[in-house]
Amino acid sequence: MSSVKIFSATGTEYLAKKIAHSYGKSLGNVETQRFSDGELSVHFNESVRGCDVFLIQSTCPPTDNIMELLLMVDAAKRASAATISVIIPYFGYARQDRKDKPRVGIGAKLIANVLTAAGASRVITCELHADQIQGFFDIPVVHLQSSPIFVPYIQSLNLENLVFASPDVGGSKRARTYAKYFKADIVICDKYRERANEIASMQVIGDVEGKDVILIDDLVDTAGTLTNAAAIIMEKGAKSVRAICTHPVLSGPAYDRVNNSVLTELIVTDTLPLAEESDKIRVLSVADLFAKGIRKIQDHESISSLFI
């Protein structure tokens, strides 16, 4: 049996430590050197020959993290690792999954290509922006869902008039999955954008009067869509509005928007580090979920039990 070794790149070390601890291992010793011109160099300070190596890195800022991850994959391959599994808790380039206008790149496919070319054996990620991105890879993709983390928390709230909402039409499938599990209704916020991160108009489709509404989305970036949706839902007579977003990108004016919003709370995971703390933001950890995924992969077991 090959031994398991878990390593972290610099961007997600806080989470990698928790994943390794949950799995029952210590993080492996890897060193990233940055030259004065910004060039990166990666060196494993222990042998990985014949090992099943797991490399952890989200695509959080700065963009150098992708290059660092690729260098780690290449170093592990050249050091004769048996398998190289890349754990990307937040796969940010998943938003670039199609040509939505002329002469643009498809970033998700590009990252899939370079990870495969570098020597990755498998990709493990969580809550992709679009499920079909798994098809961009020619290697196995373990696509974990965050519902096993959020469902127990929702149950603990004991909300009487629960309704789930999608902040846009594209996320209706995600919200409907929660609604089906809780046997609750669903509403949709239909939005129109004139340009990225800017909403021209929004309206709510469905009844929210007197309801405890939970908005469901895969990520929150500038929080414009989320906070606007929450405000409109409250104007329609909702009792309360919460939001569940797996990946807390929270860029630009996001923190001010969340803090000044009508949201009761924003529930996120630790796939990305928070830039600042907020009384309205609650963080749940994905560490146990990824650790269980690693164990099932190593034991050649189905991962179906990790889904709700």
Over 90: is that where the pLDDT of 194 sits? no
Over residues 99-125, mean pLDDT: 95
Mean pLDDT value across residues 244-266: 97
Q: What pLDDT, on a 0 to 100 scale, did the predictor assign at position 241? A: 97
The end-to-end CA distance of the chain, in Å, is 31
pLDDT digits 0-9 by tens, 21-59: 999 999 999 999 999 998 999 999 999 999 999 999 999
Give the pLDDT of residue 145: 95
Lowest mean pLDDT among 187-191, 205-209, 248-252: 187-191
Q: Could you give the CA distance from residue 144 to residue 269 in angstroms, rounded to a whole number?
A: 13
Bridge partner list, 282: 267
Q: Which of 191, 211, 280, 296 is catalytic?
A: 191
Mean pLDDT of 192-198: 57
pTM for the whole thing?
A: 0.93
Tell me the average pLDDT across 238-261: 97
**Would residue 191 show up in a list of annotated catalytic residues for this protein?**
yes
Beta bridge partners of 122: 85
Domains and CATH numbers, the chain: 4-145+287-306 (3.40.50.2020), 147-284 (3.40.50.2020)
Residue 149's pLDDT is what?
A: 97
